[in-house]
Amino acid sequence: MPKLLRIFLWGLLISFLGSLPLGTLNIAAMQIGIQESVTHALYFSLGSLLVEMIYVRISLVGVDWVRKQEKLMKAMEWFTLIIILALAAGSFMAALKDGAETKNVFLENTMHRFLLGMFMSAINPVQIPFWFGWSTVLFSKQILEPVKSQYNLYIVGIGLGTLAGNCVFIFGGKWLVERITGSQEYLNWVIGGIFAITAIVQAIKMIRHKDAVHKFTHTEENQ
């Protein structure tokens, strides 16, 4: 198998599998797909993956600089926590209201979904240590080398993998709602619960300094 193709497939596979666990972005994409349209959800996903690709590029060439931005990353992490709590509250409020088409109040805005995806991805710094870790593994196995053409295909693979992973949630959620009567109301409760649990887990990790960002910015101290 040609080396460039192998690098592309590694980026695609890691990104796809990394997008499958329940998270803020894929659940938000699913909710947009259900309550608005698949097109809006895809715009949201494209915006989020664009920022992710930029973050990966930064992690590949500027990791030392990123590690020094502890205060910025910590502020982003707290802001992300606030957004997750808002999404949880919005989902619970939508579930309590009458009408199957009630939307999460957080999504009741005129911001283009592509820009909303970029915004929510930009304030989520967890993906930086995630991709730094995987890239380090690929470097150590000599699968990935510091070559521009390899970086480019690796990042393209990551973008497509994230899009494919989000599509599982977007189309899967749409399929589920269309086949189960009254499922959207229950889905609002489930989504709200997922966001709430995510927020609680993240808050505990941040308070205990066990979160991925803290470990990433203190890597040298732990060695």
Encode pLDDT of 161-209 as tens digits: 999 999 999 999 888 877 765 566 677 788 888 888 888 887 887 777 6
Phi, psi of 126, rounded to the nearest 5 degrees:
-60, -30
Encode pLDDT of 137-157 as tens digits: 888 888 888 888 999 999 999
Q: Are 161 and 19 in contact (CB under 8 A)?
A: yes
Encode pLDDT of 18-36 as tens digits: 888 888 888 889 989 988 8
Average pLDDT, the chain: 81
Q: Could you give the CA distance from residue 77 to residue 44 in angstroms, rounded to a whole number?
A: 20
- The neighbour count for residue 19, using CB atoms within 10 Å, is 25
Which among 72, 42, 52, 49 has a CA at the least distance from the CA of 169? 42
Which among 216, 206, 211 has a CA at the least distance from the CA of 66? 216
pLDDT higher than 80, residue 119: yes
**Residue for token digits 């009458």?**
98
- Whether the full predicted model's pTM is greater than 0.85, yes or no, is no
